[in-house]
Amino acid sequence: MTRLFNTHNIRKEIKINPIWNFYLNGFKEITQMPVPSCWETHPKLASYRGKAVYEQNVSFSGNARLVFKGVSHTAKVWFDDVLLGSHYGAYGEFSYILKDVINGQHTIRVEADNSFSERSALHIPNDYYSYGGITRPVILEQLGEVYIKQMHFTSFFKDGTWNAKISILIENITYLEKEISVDVCIDNKNVLTIDAVKLNKNSSIFIEKEISLKDVQEYTVLDPKLYYLSAVVYENGKAIDDLIDRVGFREIKINGTDIIFNGEQLKLKGFNRHEDYAEFGCAVPLQAMYRDMELIKSTGANCVRTSHYPNDERWLDLCDENGILVWEEAHARSLTEDQMKNKYFDEQSNLCISEMIENHYNHPSIFVWGLLNECASFSDYGRRCYIKQIDQIKSLDSSRPVTSASCYFGSDKCLDLVDIVSFNIYPNWYFDEPTSEHLSRLKEWISTTGGAGKPLIISEIGAGAIYGFRSSNNAKWTEELQESIIREQLSAILNDNDCSGVFIWQFSDCRVDNENFYARPKSQNNKGILDIYRREKLAFKTVCDVFKSKDR
Ligand code: ADA
């Protein structure tokens, strides 16, 4: 299951065996690999960086859609030895349409590559691990001649009632003209019918309508009411394709320095979370995601940041269900100006942003889009990149605010571009200064920039500790030191009325790339309040106490 609910009643899925053939030069004894997974979970490939080939046989005929939810980090895909294309970026969904396939057995072949090179602008040696393999699910869907490619839902409150803009993209993959009709339902009640839609051969049509709804329940953090939105396509009265998603009725507005979610001012208390789990790497299975969600809820947190890349949809589904608000972030961490000048940077960032927004648009829990964490926002060149990417985000979704986590106190030139100003600060860890003093200086400086008068989020605070290293001497990496630093940071920020919230760096420890991080004991970023197995450090209890002592 790639989502937590059925996304089709009519469109059928063709089963793919989860154990794929696996070929890697020099490793003759490894012949198979489960999908999804990271190859690092194989005992012999724990640090392998490079290419590997996956192969799987499938039997079907006619038209189909082959969907990859994520291959890390570069993929080349063949169907029956014909190259379908290649894709860059571990965290984006991509798909291919297979037409007029003859009845019989066919072969899907994928070459995955997680190596670093000039051609990889976003996956670079970093403070998290770029795993390898087919790390998110693969789906094969049987299609007819016409299918729904995309459906977006935007709710808005107007004239005392909830409304929604619904847009649907439908594609005709045949050489014949088609006439179809479309029914749209919310929780099985028809809300829209569009008749006599003409589709030219081999082309798509974009339909957009606004509807007004009575008696709908709002989506809130305390009561995250979800509705099923479904679209069904009919030809000559017969249902030929459908698409189902889950939506919520909510609106996000910025009012001066406040972030308003359905009329309520947000005070965010949450975590930065990497998709990383000791045994599974970035291919976190549902039961482990579920456990993370239960742990997050148990702290009294109300939000999570998908630092520093778009997340698995099942995680977003869990956030939707639990009213955990999401800052979803396009992929990029701490790129220098030179790295932003990489000739692939624009194209690869553009693709990541469009895949993120197109595929995750409907999640009601996503309240803000993030981009370019700690990149070169201090330079003129960097600023041009921020402008380009923010323009792209706004053109794809004008219903959500945009933010970017900066660490350039004193030199950031992009604070006028974002809707919400966000800063990563580590007082008492990377520098010695009480958090409240640091915050006062930061706010004072922001008030002299284009960020003046905007909401402020502290997007990272934290300190490192190695699980089990206990001592009352307050030495670096002790759980005691981490606990006392986080206690001090949190209380200063949550008591500051000018801050709209805080995200702790980080929820749990994560593996880091070997190439770069000599300052990372155990080759992990140890700032988790849980370790990589989700064992609690001392700070966990403190975070629960502090978060729970504040209202949601
Ligand atoms: C930065 C960065 C994080 C992490 C953190 C740290 O703020 O955004 O990815 O590297 O620093 O642990 O130092």
Q: Does ligand 1 come within 6 angstroms of the Cβ of 505? A: yes
* The residue to which tokens 């989020």 are assigned: 457
CA of 529 to the centre of ligand 1 (A): 15
Which residues face 232 on adjacent strands? 183, 242
Question: In a mutational test of the pocket of ligand 1, which residue from 525, 526, 527, 529 has the highest number of ligand atoms less than 8 Å from its CB?
Answer: 525
User: Pick from 336, 435, 417: which is nearest to 369 by CA?
Assistant: 417
Q: Does ligand 1 come within 6 angstroms of the Cβ of 424? A: yes
Q: Parallel, antiparallel, or unpaired: how do β-strands 524-525 and 510-511 relate? A: antiparallel
Q: Does ligand 1 come within 6 angstroms of the Cβ of 506? A: no
Report the C-alpha gap between 362 and 349 in whole angstroms: 21
- In what helix (H) or strand (E) does residue 133 lie, and over which residues does it extend? strand 133-134
Report the C-alpha gap between 252 and 269 in whole angstroms: 17
CA of 213 to the centre of ligand 1 (A): 44
Contact 358, 385 (CB under 8 A): no
pLDDT of residue 519: 82
User: Pick from 78, 76, 72: which is nearest to 115 by CA?
Assistant: 72
* The residue to which tokens 């969904």 are assigned: 93
Report the C-alpha gap between 262 and 217 in whole angstroms: 11
Report the C-alpha gap between 418 and 429 in whole angstroms: 27
Helix and strand numbers (H, E) in the chain are: 8, 30
Report the C-alpha gap between 275 and 529 in whole angstroms: 15
Report the C-alpha gap between 517 and 507 in whole angstroms: 19
Q: Does ligand 1 come within 6 angstroms of the Cβ of 527? A: yes
Give the residue, by CA position, lying nearest to ligand 1 atom 9.
Answer: 127
Report the C-alpha gap between 514 and 524 in whole angstroms: 9
Kindly list the distances between the CA atom of residue 186 and the CA atoms of 164, 190, 249, 421, in Å, as whole numbers in the listed order.
11, 7, 12, 36
Task: Look up residue 98 and give its amino acid.
Answer: L
For residues 292, 298, 304 and 309, what is the CA-based torsion angle, rounded to 10 degrees? -10
CA of 36 to the centre of ligand 1 (A): 28
Consecutive 10-residue averages of pLDDT for the chain (552 residues): 94 98 92 98 95 98 98 98 98 98 98 97 96 98 98 97 98 96 97 95 97 96 97 97 98 98 97 96 98 98 98 98 98 98 98 98 98 98 98 98 98 98 98 98 98 98 98 95 98 97 98 80 96 98 95 53
pLDDT of residue 551: 63
Read off the pLDDT of residues 410-439 as tens digits, 9 standing for 90 and up: 999 999 999 999 999 999 999 999 999 999
CA of 491 to the centre of ligand 1 (A): 21
Q: DSSP of 384-444, one letter per residue?
A: HHHHHHHHHHHHH-SSS-EEEEE--TTT---TTT-SEEEEE--BTTTB-S-HHHHHHHHHH
Report the C-alpha gap between 369 and 144 in whole angstroms: 35
Query: Omega into 73 within 30° of 0, i.e. cis?
Result: yes
Q: Does ligand 1 come within 6 angstroms of the Cβ of 49? A: no
Give the residue, by CA position, lying nearest to ligand 1 atom 7.
Answer: 424
**445-450 — which CB contacts under 8 Å span 24+ positions?**
445/409, 445/410, 446/415, 446/421, 449/412, 449/415, 449/416, 450/414, 450/415, 450/416, 450/417
Read off the pLDDT of residues 492-547 as tens digits, 9 standing for 90 and up: 999 999 999 999 999 999 999 887 666 899 999 999 999 999 999 999 999 999 99
363: alpha, beta or left? (left if phi > 0; alpha if psi -120 to 50): beta
Question: In a mutational test of the pocket of ligand 1, which residue from 309, 422, 424 has the highest number of ligand atoms less than 8 Å from its CB?
Answer: 424
Give the residue, by CA position, lying nearest to ligand 1 atom 10.
Answer: 127
**Rg for the chain (alpha carbons), in Å?**
24
The token duo for 37 is 């997974």
pLDDT of residue 552: 43
Q: Does ligand 1 come within 6 angstroms of the Cβ of 524? A: no
The token duo for 48 is 């392998």
Report the C-alpha gap between 217 and 220 in whole angstroms: 9
The residue length of the chain stands at 552
pTM across the whole model: 0.98
- 78-99 burial code (b ≥16 CB/10 A, e <16): bbeeeebeebbbbbbbbbeebe
3-state SS, residue 287: helix
Contact 140, 16 (CB under 8 A): yes
Report the C-alpha gap between 510 and 526 in whole angstroms: 7
